Amino acid sequence: MAHARRSPERLSAFSDGVFAVLITVLVLELRPPETPTFAGLLALWPTWLSYAVSYVFIAIVWANHHHLLRYAAEATPRLMWFNFAHLFSVSLLPLSTAWMAVSELAPQPVAFYAAVFFLVNATYVALIWELIERAPHQDVSLRERRIMRVRSIVTLCIFAAAAAVALKFPLIGLGLCCCCLLVYLKPEAPGAKDGSPGDDRAQLCDDLSAADCEEARATGCVRSLLTPAQYKSCLDAQPVRR
């Protein structure tokens, strides 16, 4: 008996709930100053800085996660476990944020904070491999795949370097983490077209041979870029031509 298709909508909804809870937990860690003065408020700048960076980080992670899940045709077991790993890594952020704030940006807490960023990005790479690399060519061009792959690997290396640098220079390590966030402000790869996956085939031939281009325009799939199973799934997913 064939198994019913597992819709990714529940996976996306569950993930959204987790992100919402994490932001709530993050703000619950904030404490007012002991003195009713602006000077007392400014004295808590490490706490506010830690909260601001973490809030922006969670927002960027959610935006990129939401972008990737647009390419999910089915909630496969591998996708679900990769997604759980990604959510687990993000769930460490309130702990690392609180430790960094209480320590007033001490070296080891900042290094741990950068290590959490590294773990989040590593699990994001796994999601890219599962969703983007396996997506049909008409959904994601070869150029966009390359840019997303390079961007994720380069930032992964920078996060690792930030964790090491923070042990000696915590502010520089935190600055490196913040710089990496800038390249993820737009989830789409630079130069990628906006819109839903598969809604435009105008740029299919940018990276293809003439034969592959003709096949892509005719079927929406390129046999030479996919495994036999992926090629069959791609053909099955195409709308019926009338």
Task: Give the pLDDT confidence of 7-34 residue by residue, as tens digits.
Answer: 788 888 999 999 999 999 888 877 888 8
CB 118 within 8 A of CB 156: yes
Give the pLDDT score at 27: 85
Give the pLDDT score at 148: 83
pLDDT at 4 over 80: no
148 or 232, greater pLDDT: 148
From 26, 148, 35, 41, select the one nearest 97 (Cα to Cα): 26
Question: What is the rounded CA–CA span in Å between residue 32 and residue 25?
Answer: 16
pLDDT at 174 over 70: yes
pTM score, two decimals? 0.74
Question: What is the rounded CA–CA span in Å between residue 61 and residue 109?
Answer: 21
pLDDT at 202 over 50: no
Give the pLDDT score at 18: 93
Give the pLDDT score at 3: 54
